A and B are shown apart, each in its own frame.
Chain A
């Protein structure tokens, strides 16, 4: 059965191998250059005191390629789920070839288990090799980013989990829906929704974040779409940490509003409310540093910052937890598939 599964998936495996080879070549050719520029500009920028300029210049190199590689790592698991997982059972069911495959000499449960295992493994290996190449290539770039968590989903081991889950999702959809195209469409929709929901609502809570108090400090003004400008807190020095929220509160827990700031620091020139346009959101308008700092010092005895964050050294814990959850989901779906083919397809 293993031999036959290979026989059937030979073409798609070769396509994947070819694509991976292209990525490998591209990253191998351009990677060392990136490292070289990093070593000669950013690594020594402290000594030359031109870090911002050096960093910006460095980030502009191969900017497009970096984006493409990131897009690739994000989309490949879903693509594998749609094109390898969904048609696995669905195509046999809709073309009728299941009547040939399941009447040879092996049970259909074994047929499915071997196909799920083999092609699922191939999906994980493909996503893993891709992630390996991109993580390696991007490591200089990642060194200058504020936190490793910024590129969490496109690096290291989580893409393996995404690929396993997307594949299992596709296979389940194909088995239940029995038609390739609807199964592919629903796999895509469900996978995207799950990824988004996990990113937003699950990942931040995988490990209880650290909550710490810091002295009050203002970073500037933020403008929400068309609303009045608000005073934004300054990020404390937590290198590499993933900050999920900063609140400015007093000892009783009451928030520091812009009205209180205006009342306490009357000579602060708040910029007029700007209309919504590109870059609207929590951007900071450039303001002279001193009035803001003075105001912050004035309010500091009463108000402080409460920062909720995940320290940098938890990055790998998060990677393993998320991988484990997605793998567990994939295994559950695989079990569902085996149960379904045994009991529901008669």
Chain B
């Protein structure tokens, strides 16, 4: 399966500061990818590198099989919605659609007009007077009516109220279902991701900390709680992602491919949100995962 977005050794430096470094991941097609990380982690930089608004300092990024910058027509296969959904506030909704038709070879005018009508937007209204939710919907329409194979969305719901957020995601999922588009959706809000994403890339402080299929990630992580123990006493094959202790009890969030058989541990699944948060705080605190030994007491 071709990777719809692939980064190899990707890095971007501004002066002395690395906004992104050592990024390696490959996203299979047909997925809705969540690009998660705290503010300033490098999510916007990564997306801008993908759509050629920036050029890499090191490494490369390729979309739909072609390295960015190689094929001028590549941009027509990708739809992009930038942060804060920039639109021309002086132009009307209809003129924005006209822009889409003029600038994109595969523009689907019927789809665009239907969508605008379904959303209840007035075509003659100036885009600057739309609400944030309506602007986001307009930007999504502009990106999807060019019939892309890949949609990149930079924090599209960050500044929307809960209702607008839900409506945007409904709209987006309907587009995915109907047109089989791959989506990369960046967000610093983790809660929305679990219902929408089936692939996750966690970006913290300019590095990729985690990348994988959501069901695999959920299947390979466990929360273990039991009597007070040090992490070193866990067996090999258990990567400790997070740990916390009281005087009597220890709780570990581990990544493992093997079932945990020690009856001393209460084993529970981890929610996607807790998983992501654990990786984010691990990266922030700079603790590397330790390989550990768990005695088999059977």
Contacts and interface: CB of A to CB of B under 8 A. Distances in A.
Contacts of A99: 48, 53, 80, 82, 86
A340 to B, nearest CB: 14
B207 interface: no
Contact of A104 (B54, B86, B98, B146): B146
Given A1-B103, A96-B84, A97-B86, A105 B55 contact: no
A96 B86 contact: yes
Interface string A100-118: 1011111100000000000
B100 A104 contact: yes
Contact of B99 (A4, A11, A103, A346): A4
B73 interface: yes
Nearest to A5: B102
B72 A107 contact: yes
A107 to B, nearest CB: 5
B65 interface: no
Nearest to B89: A95
Interface size for chain B: under 10, 10 to 19, 20 to 34, or 35 or more residues? 20 to 34
Nearest to A105: B76
A157 B180 CA distance: 58
Interface residues of A, number: 19
A279 interface: no
Contact of B102 (A3, A97, A100): A3
Contacts of A11: 90
A7 interface: yes
A103 B86 contact: no
Name the residue in B51, B54, B86, B100 with the highest tally of chain A Cβ atoms < 10 Å from its Cβ: B86
Contacts of B55: 346
Given A96-B84, A103-B78, A7 B53 contact: no
A7 B98 contact: yes
B95 A104 contact: no
A102 B99 contact: no
A151 B260 CA distance: 94
A23 to B, nearest CB: 27
A96 B78 CA distance: 19
B86 A95 contact: yes
B224 interface: no
B84 A1 contact: no
A293 B274 CA distance: 106
A90 to B, nearest CB: 15
Interface string A218-251: 0000000000000000000000000000000000
Name the residue in B55, B82, B90, B98 with the highest tally of chain A Cβ atoms < 10 Å from its Cβ: B82
Contact of B75 (A4, A105, A346): A105
Interface in A63-100: 95-100
Contacts of B52: 102-103
B88 interface: yes
B51 A103 contact: yes
Given A4-B102, A7-B95, A100-B87, A105 B73 contact: yes
A3 B107 CA distance: 15
B152 to A, nearest CB: 9
A289 B282 CA distance: 101
B191 interface: no
Given A7-B95, A104-B100, A104-B146, 14 more contacts: A3-B98, A3-B102, A4-B103, A7-B98, A97-B88, A99-B82, A100-B86, A100-B139, A102-B53, A103-B52, A103-B75, A103-B80, A104-B103, A105-B75
22 contacts: A1-B102, A4-B103, A7-B91, A7-B95, A7-B98, A7-B102, A95-B86, A96-B86, A97-B87, A97-B88, A98-B53, A99-B86, A100-B82, A102-B52, A103-B52, A104-B99, A105-B75, A105-B105, A106-B75, A106-B103, A346-B54, A346-B55
Closest 10 CB pairs of A and B: A105-B76, A346-B55, A99-B82, A104-B103, A103-B80, A96-B86, A3-B102, A4-B102, A105-B104, A97-B86
Interface of B: 48, 51-55, 72-73, 75-76, 78, 80, 82, 84, 86-88, 90-91, 95, 98-100, 102-105, 139, 142, 146
